[in-house]
Every structure is written in C-alpha cells, then in structure tokens.
Amino acid sequence: DSLYQDLGGMTGIETLVDGLLFRISEDSRIVDQFADADPGRLHRTLSEQICELAGGPCVYSGDDMVTVHTGRNISEASFNALVEDLVEVMEYQHIPIRAQNRLLALLAPMRGEIIRL
C-alpha cells in the first residue's frame, strides 16, 4: 500500500515528471514562467521530491520551496494550471485514481510555499 509503489517506483515517477515537464512546455498559461528554469535539474529534483513524499527511498536535494518560488509572483491560477497538467498526465499514464488523489493531497499543502511570493 505504498504510494511509491502505486506510482510505479522511480521509473514510474520519472516517466510522470517527463510527462509533466513536456505538458508544461506546451501550456501557454504557464510556460513563460519557466523560461529561466534548468530542465535537467528540475526533472531530477521534482522526481526526488515526489519519490520522497510518496515514501520512496529518495532524499530531496533541491532548494526549499519558498526560496525557489520567491520573486516569481506565481498566481493561484498558475498553480491550478500546473496541477491540472499533472492530473492530465496521471490520467494519460493510467495512474490509479487513488494514487492520483494521494499524490495531490501531498502536494496541496505546498500551495502556500509557492504562490504570491
């Protein structure tokens, strides 16, 4: 019953993050806000973060959420757009609904460390 396993382990999580970053790159609502991001690093740190949150054997090595998102003026609408992209990728990759909801529930509390900073 580990979320990590339900997401397909590290391989599944990396596939999920691949899909998410691709989807963001095609999402005109938010793509411009990622103009200065380092895609390779983002792929690694986001995968680690999801792996750790899901109870997997990873340790997040990125910077803290407030630091990376401060000064970016990320709106609630942008946050919701990214979450929508994530849900679409999880649907597309046939991640079970229960696992989708568990992951979303782990990410939702981060909203305050991301928006309007």
Q: Minimum Å distance from CB 77 to ligand HEM?
A: 9
Q: Per CB under 6 A, does 62 bind ligand HEM?
A: yes
Cβ(49)–Cβ(62) below 8 Å: yes
Q: Taking contact as CB under 6 A, which single stretch among the options 6-14, 15-23, 72-80, 94-102 is the one that binds ligand HEM?
A: 72-80
Residue from 2, 37, 73, 116 in contact with ligand HEM (CB under 6 A): 37
CA 76 to chain centre: 15
Count of Cβ atoms closer than 10 Å to residue 116 Cβ: 12
Query: Which residue, 8 or 21, is less far from ligand HEM as judged by CB?
Result: 21
Q: Which residues of 24-63 are buried (b: 16+ CB within 10 A; e: fewer)?
A: beebeebeebbeeeeeeebeebbbbbbbbbbebebebeee
Q: Minimum Å distance from CB 45 to ligand HEM?
A: 4
Binding site for ligand HEM (CB under 6 A): 30, 33-34, 37-38, 41-42, 45-46, 49, 62-63, 68-69, 72, 74, 78-79, 82, 107, 110, 114
